[in-house]
Each structure stands twice: as structure tokens, then as C-alpha cells.
Structure 1
């Protein structure tokens, strides 16, 4: 029986679709949600550029803080929406490489299922940019449901 669902979310166009499908699944099961957002250097060019001056470092720190606040606000809004729908939800924000972070948190939290979106990357773009959903499917210790973008 599915009781704990880890929901990996980012702030792109798949986020709402993943969340909506998770609520549809979780509500009748009375499952608990753990909403996760992983901040990563690849999401923001300023994070991957080495700061060389105090001005550069301040700009980097400001951009990171803005990204962190916006992502946390998104998670909290989604948690409120879940609770309004009668689904218990908690939030976590982490920093690192998304695939391994998602798998580790799922294991630590005791997730029965991981919900993750897919951008539909194939071929060279998947090889160059990576695929979080592909990593999670192959490394998670529990079941994984991949939510695809509509065709």
C-alpha cells in the first residue's frame, strides 16, 4: 500500500502537472506527501560562475537567495493546496544533484513511491543535459512514477 509519496518538483512547466497527478493519486489512498525541490548549480548561470570579487560574490549570493526563497514559496503554496484538498504534505528544500538527492531522501523518509516529471529529452540532449527522471528510475529503492509532458 502506498502511504508515503515523495514528490520531486521544480519551477518549470512540468511542476503543476506532477503535483496535480500526485494529489489525484494520494487523496483516495490517504497518503502523505513530501514535496521536494532540489536547488542545483545548473539552474542558474550565476551559481556556476566562480565569483572573483566582492561585488560578484554579493551578486551570486543575492541570486541564490532569490532562487531559494522563490522555490520555497512554491513548495509552501503547493503544500497549502494539498492540505486544502485533504492531503497531508510537508516540504523540503535541498541543494545538490537532483537524482541522487531525490533517491537518498526517498530512502531516508521511507517513501513508497516517487513522483517525478520528465521534460521528454531524448538522444543527445538527454546525454548532455542529463535526465533526472531516468536517474531516479534506475537508482531509487522504491517505485517511481514518471509524469510526462503532454504530446
Structure 2
């Protein structure tokens, strides 16, 4: 049995928002004992099918445009994960990183299940009732659909 195999897995889902980085820092500081004895995975979702979005609005998308948009999204994801790894390193934690394309709500839950995560941690955007009704809430979706416990960290106002 490898060193990582016996450890519990904790996954922190991040995006470009301050609240997700707050959730990561809060996790590293408030759950330091748990995290130091766990396998930490930092996850970010990338937007899915640009071709579908473009085609539904403007018609058929040029392949070069689609490739350019997808490459740009990969670069953004790498930058987000790189920043998160630096934050972890400042706390003496080595984290794994992972990204997948798709609807964040769905890919976060799917990744947590696929990786057999014991705890999923997400930040809360603290949207009001109206915005949450129209935009949906990733944290709310994860609480109701993830197959593991979910900790929602809210950034103080």
C-alpha cells in the first residue's frame, strides 16, 4: 500500500473568486491537523462546450476560435491551480491539482465521487436569494448531490 493510498482524501473546489481562495486558506488553517494527515486535492472546473454556446448564438464557430478559447480556459485553470498550490506550500502542504471541463456543479461532484473523496470543501459566494434562484448555487448543488460530506465555507462580510 503506497503512502497516499492509506490517507483520507480532501478536495477543495476553487474558482477565480475571493471566496474560494478564502475557503482554501480557511481549510489549511482551521483543519490543519486533518489536512496534514490527508491527501489534499485542489479542483477547478473549466467551461464546457464553447462550440455549442457559440453556435447557439452566432452559428457555426470557426475551429480556430474554439481551439483558442479552449486553450485560454486551460491556461486560466492552470493559473488558478498554481496560485492554490502556492497557498498550500506556504502552509507546508503539498497538494495535487485537477481540472475538468463541464458545468462546475456537476464536474465537482463527479470528480469527488470518482476520486473517492471523504470531504469536499467549497466556498460560498453569499449571493442573495434572487441571484441564487437565477444563477444557481454550486455549493447548494454539491450539498444536495455529492456522495460525500460537504463543508461550505462562507467568507465573512
Give TM-score, length-normalised by structure 2. Answer: 0.80
Give TM-score, length-normalised by structure 1. Answer: 0.82
Deviation string, structure 1 residues 88-125 (Cα, Å, up to 9, x no partner): 31011101111221112112212121110111123232
Partner of 1:37: 44
* Contact 2:20–2:124 (8 Å) recurs in 1: no
Matched, 1:22 2:27: yes
Deviation string, structure 1 residues 14-66 (Cα, Å, up to 9, x no partner): 23201101211443222221110001249x8x972225353xx4233213211
* Contact 1:26–1:87 (8 Å) recurs in 2: no
Q: Using the alignment, how far apart are the partners of 1:73 and 1:93 within structure 2?
A: 11
Residue 18 of structure 2 aligns to a residue whose secondary structure is coil
* Contact 2:40–2:96 (8 Å) recurs in 1: yes
- Runs ≥4 residues deviating over 4 A: none
Residue 4 of structure 1 aligns to a residue whose secondary structure is strand
Matched, 1:68 2:74: yes
Q: Using the alignment, how far apart are the partners of 2:116 and 2:66 within structure 1?
A: 35
Partner of 1:113: 119
Q: How does 1:1-151 map to 2 (within 5 A)?
A: 3-29=8-34, 30=36, 31-41=38-48, 48-50=53-55, 52-54=60-62, 57-151=63-157
Residue 17 of structure 2 aligns to a residue whose secondary structure is coil
Q: Using the alignment, how far apart are the partners of 1:147 and 1:109 within structure 2?
A: 21
Ranges in structure 2 where 5+ consecutive residues have no aligned partner: 1-6
Q: Using the alignment, how far apart are the partners of 1:112 and 1:25 within structure 2?
A: 17
Question: What is the deviation of 1:145?
Answer: 1.1
Residue 14 of structure 1 aligns to a residue whose secondary structure is helix
Deviation string, structure 1 residues 70-89 (Cα, Å, up to 9, x no partner): 21122023224313422231
Ranges in structure 1 where 5+ consecutive residues have no aligned partner: none
